[in-house]
Amino acid sequence: MRERGHDTIDHTADMGIRGWGAGIPEAFEEAARAMFELAAELDGLAADREVSVSCEGTDAEELLVEFLNTLLTRADLEDLVFVRVSIDRLGKDGGSWRLGARVMGAPRERAAGRLLTEVKAATYYGASVRMSGEGLWEARCVVDL
């Protein structure tokens, strides 16, 4: 397995996404990228708008699902197609996990010919954040299309 990356996992009616990296932040960034690639063809799409997001969860799995759903909500509210994400902070604070990130996107109208499918929501089905056998962190869940 490469040191950092993402892919999709066939699922009966929806699609599984998986991201991995040296740490949890990289795994979350790659899971987000896998989700973005379901929504649009991103290669060559210039991202010129930055949006800040933050969220929290009671554990890493809840944080993953909240993070992905926050991204979907902000993309809809801002009418953007997100291209990349950079997590600035992710960690446990007291009893909660907290995350702050910057997301770069392009206006949906500019990406109109690149749109593939609507990702409606990230779900808790199959959600996991764990160390893989290769010593890399892996973040996965199923998204509703």
Q: Are 44 and 121 in contact (CB under 8 A)?
A: no
For the entire predicted model, the pTM comes to 0.91
Q: Which residues of the chain have pLDDT under 70?
A: 1-2, 10-13
Please list the residues that pair with 99 across neighbouring strands.
Answer: 55, 90
| CA–CA dist 113, 105 (Å, integer) | 15
Q: What residue spans define the domains of the chain?
A: 16-144
Q: Output the six-digit token pair for 122.
A: 């990230």
Summarised one tens digit per residue, pLDDT across range 21-58 is: 999 999 999 999 999 999 999 999 999 999 999 999 99
> Any idea what DSSP says for residue 113?
G
Beta-carbon contacts of 41 under 8 Å, excluding residues fewer than 6 positions away, are: 114, 116
Overall fold of domain 16-144? Archease, Possible Chaperone; Chain: A; domain 1 (3.55.10)
Q: Are 121 and 87 in contact (CB under 8 A)?
A: no
Could you give the angle at which helices 24-39 and 60-78 cross, rounded to 10 degrees?
A: 40
Q: Residue count of the chain, please give it.
A: 145
Q: What is the pLDDT of residue 7?
A: 75
| CA–CA dist 46, 10 (Å, integer) | 29
Phi first, then psi, for residue 100 (nearest 5°) are: -130, 135
Q: What is the pLDDT of residue 10?
A: 66
Q: Are 17 and 117 in contact (CB under 8 A)?
A: no
Q: Output the six-digit token pair for 46.
A: 């210039």
